[in-house]
Amino acid sequence: MTAAITVVLAAAAVWYVLAPLWRRSVTPDRGASDERARLVEEREVALRALRDLSLDHATGKMSDADYDALRSRQEAAAIDALRRLDALDAPASGVRPAAANARPPE
Amino acid sequence: MASLGRFAMLGALVLVLYAIAAAVLGARARRGELVASAVRALGGSAALLAAAAVVLFVALGTRDYTFQYVAAHVDNAQPLVYDLAGFWGGMEGSLLLWALVLAAYSLAAVRAVGRAQPALVPGVVAVLAGVSAFFLVLLTTVASPFATVPFPAADGAGMNPLLLNPWMAIHPPTLYLGYVGLTVPFALVVAALVSGRAADGGVLLARRWMVWAWYCLSMGLWFGAKWSYVVLGWGGYWAWDPVENAALMPWLVATAFIHSVMIQERREMLSRWNVVLVILAFGLSIFGTFLTRSGVLSSVHSFTQSSIGTLFLVFLAGAMLAAFAIVAWRWDLLRSRYELDAALSRESAFLLNNVLFLAIALAVFLGTVFPVISEVLTGRRVNVGPPFFNHVIPPIAVGLLVLMGVGPLLAWRRSSADQLRRNFLAPGAAGVALGAVLLAAGVRAPGPLLIFTLVGFVAGTIVLEFARGIRVRQSLRGEGLPRALVALVARNRRRYGGYIVHFGMLLLLCGLTGSSVFATQRLATLAPGESAAVGPYRVRYDGLGQTTAHGALVVGARLRVFEGARDDGPLIAARNLFLNGRDATSSVALRSTPRDDLYITLVGWAQDGRATLRLLVNPLVMWMWAGGFVLSVGAIVAMLPEARPGTAPAVMPARVLGTAGR
Amino acid sequence: MSPAVGGRSAGRQTLVFAGGTVLIVLSLAYLVYGGIQQGATYWVTVGELRQRAPSLPSRVRLGGTVAAGTVRWDDAHRHLSFVITDGASTLPVRYTGVVPDIFAEGRQVVVEGGIARDGAFDATTLLAKCPTKYNPADPKSPR
């Protein structure tokens, strides 16, 4: 009884594991999606940094001068990330899908 | 049945070995189908491990004493729930649990990485399969849970009755979720480094997993402390035992990482440091497992008592060497992009925070392995006990407490000194006020006074942060107070979740200080009707009673507690004498209030009905448990994923999109 | 985004950090040294204690097994006496206080204390080890 279960399990495992090798699919070019994932992450980090920066300033931890200087640098970084993401998304048409959803800062 | 379990584990081992080979080959030859096969092999081994676990559970539940492991951890009188919890009550079962949890984590990790950074999948599969392989080798060779005897005994040995407690049933699985959880960030980082394409060393991807593992470790430690307090009957919750320290060390490193990773996110700095922290955390989790399984620190002389210890050390050394070799290989890739802007910034506060946490971890490590070090260096085995830890750690903790208050007052990159000074005033005043109140109330000990003053200060900064944030929201959006509070936390989950966690730590620290410094103790032998006074209480002993429960003779002392004139009700302090003649446990009489705990154990009794009681008053213990709960809430808030905006950013100043930037 | 800030202030910053690091390392070393002095107890075996009693520090940690048939418990004074053995040598032990639940004949124990003038061991702390090899927690003697 145990031997039967064992054999069945073993066969199932072997079949399950080796099956993909028979369906020889071409490895999709993962490069693009990797790049996109990385840029999305970069964008999120940049935006979060901007938001934190404005919160820090609003709660009185930075002087106005410091805030202005840092904010413009951070905005430039955010724009850069957005631009590169847009370029990846729609290289031919040059359309910027993100532009439509601008909202005032928190 | 047992052979099914053995086969399942052997099959799982074969599959993970195949997975390593297929993943590595598939990555090098760029053959996606090999990698897919490797992923399936990982899934298959998980299924086989689950099958093995089911076999063991069934054996435990049906009390199949042909299994040596079952006979060792189950007896006929034990409740079913604890029979099943016996799964992780012994070495072999706990290793199987480890392998099972790792398998589950592996599947989840591969799935997540497949979506976020598919190029890393082969590396992650290879590393996770590699660690699984180690545990499976142990399980199939020296530590099999499926060893059998031909003639089953009529009754098993049962678990140590100290383990028959809900806290102890839940403590190992939770702790394992934490320990094993540290393997995933390790795999991510190693995979990212090997692939050579991630300038952040895979750290940012690993962050989520580290936070989750940290959370589980926190809860595991908390449950362990609660168990120690409620069950062991010595009135304490932490004894600086090697086993406890084994879980504390990775927790400390993970806490350091949670803070320093924020620097990496903001400023693309410290990636080397963070990579090292991830590897170190994993190493400490394996080291911790090693400590609790080899006899290395509890025996008088021998270095390792079993082959398991040696195998663990070999694996640990190999894994650490390999990982650090990879780090060295990719050292240049991990170069920081920026430097620190200013000394007075959140970055430098976090850096100092890291240094202090690692200092504590180092101190704990030194104190824990001191017997081994001293034996190797001087030939004499020397122990350093709690006095060592209580001498070294509190000063460092005070430094961390100060940072906890000052850090949030600093801004990223640069803070103005006079802004800081201005922000200091209100919380500083709160701290001083608290200190003054305590001084007036009669607290004279300088250490606790300092700590409570700092606690007041830090609490003040946290409140200030919330207040200011709410005010900002209200000025922008005109929301009412409750709505603004919720929205503030929801929009800045990591920051405000973190503040809640800090607040929980403050409560914990208060409880720790109160109960360790201001506890009072009394040992009293009373005849029925006599009373003993301890702290603000008077405890009257009313006589002994006997019952049987769960295979034990329970001898209980009936007590009644009075506070001044008020009758606070009855309590029972009991000893459980197990019918196997060997074991005895205490049922502690515990009366908890926010002010203090009245903690009574029955130590002995005489024929004439007199009882010897140990009475303890531990102030503020409830604050510790409350602190753990608050920490949990804060951690969950911080871990909730921020709403994914899809392709459009959620917040973007209009002028940024309109202009080309300034 | 500033790359490494140039020249003088970078040098000064490095100095500050280096100085800070040295300070922290020294403080830690100082603390650890003090901690070791406070907390160190030497491990000995029964045999060593019998042989070298005068030359060992006054406070030692002794591990061994409770010899069968030697446990005496005076309930009225909470006074425990037994003989500890390492298989070869034996030593009588005296202990007053609360005895841990796990304590029993044949079990492994660890005692802390010193040799008294009459040659017996006066234990101030008594810890008992669980017989199973893998024990998730050590029952501790009450403090």
Q: Which residues of B touch A44 (CB under 8 A)?
A: 642
Q: What is the pLDDT of residue C88?
A: 80
A82-101 confidence digits (pLDDT tens):
888 888 776 655 454 454 44
Q: Which residues of A touch B51 (CB under 8 A)?
A: 9
pLDDT digits (tens, 9 = 90+) for B430-481: 999 999 999 888 888 888 999 999 999 999 999 999 998 998 888 888 878 8
* Chain C residues within an 8 Å CB radius of A71: none
- Chain B positions in Cβ-Cβ contact with residue A61 (cut-off 8 Å): 409-411, 415, 419-420, 423
User: pTM score, two decimals?
Assistant: 0.88
Of C77, C13, C2, A81, whose CA–CA distance to B649 is shortest?
A81
pLDDT, position B254: 97
| Interface contact C3-B389, CB threshold 8 A | no
Instruction: State pLDDT tens for residues B579-632.
Output: 766 677 888 899 999 999 999 998 888 888 888 899 999 999 999 999 999 999
Judged by CB atoms closer than 8 Å, whether chains meet at B236 and C13 is answered as no
Residue B662 confidence (pLDDT): 31
For an interface test with B, give the residue of C2, C31, C86 to mutate (most B CBs within 10 A). C31
Cβ of A101 within 8 Å of Cβ of B413? The answer is no
Q: Which residue of C has its CA nearest to A71?
A: C1
Residues C49, C64: Cα–Cα separation, whole Å: 12
The verdict on a CB contact (< 8 Å) between B582 and C75 is no
CB contacts < 8 A, A to B, total: 171
Sign of dihedral through CA atoms B399, B401, B406, B411? positive
Per-residue pLDDT tens over the stretch B175-210: 999 999 999 999 999 999 998 877 777 888 899 999
B119 touches chain A (CB under 8 A): yes
Q: In this structure, what token pair is assigned to residue C97?
A: 């206080």
Please, which residues have CB within 8 angstroms of residue A91's CB and are 6 or more apart in sequence? none
User: Per-residue pLDDT averaged across C18-25, rounded?
Assistant: 85
Interatomic CA distance for residues B437 and B406, integer angstroms: 23
Whether the CB of A73 is below 8 Å from some CB of chain C: the reply is yes
* Residue B401 and residue B360 in contact, taking contact as beta carbons nearer than 8 Å: no
Q: What is the pLDDT of residues B256-265, one digit of tens each?
A: 999 999 888 8
B648, A100: Cβ pair inside 8 Å? yes
Q: Within 13 Å and on the Cβ side, how many CA atoms surround B114?
A: 12
- Residue A83 near chain C (CB below 8 Å): no
Give the three-state DSSP class for B361: helix
Nearest residue on chain A to B464, alpha-carbon basis: A59
**Quick check: ipTM above 0.90?**
no
**CB atoms B363 and C5 under 8 Å:** no
In this prediction, residue C135 has a pLDDT band, given cuts at 50, 70 and 90, of: very low
pLDDT reported for residue C40: 79
User: C43, B367: Cβ pair inside 8 Å?
Assistant: no
Neighbours of chain C (3+ CB pairs under 8 A): A, B
pLDDT confidence bin for B650, thresholds 50/70/90: very low
Rounded percentage of chain B residues whose pLDDT exceeds 90: 47
- Picking from B36, B413, B657, the nearest residue to A102 by CB comes out as B657
Q: Judge: B388–C21 Cβ closer than 8 Å, yes or no.
A: no
Alpha helices (runs of H) in B303-345, residue ranges in sequence order:
307-329
% of chain B surpassing 70 pLDDT: 94
Q: Over 70: is that where the pLDDT of A32 sits?
A: no
CA A6 and chain centroid, separation: 44
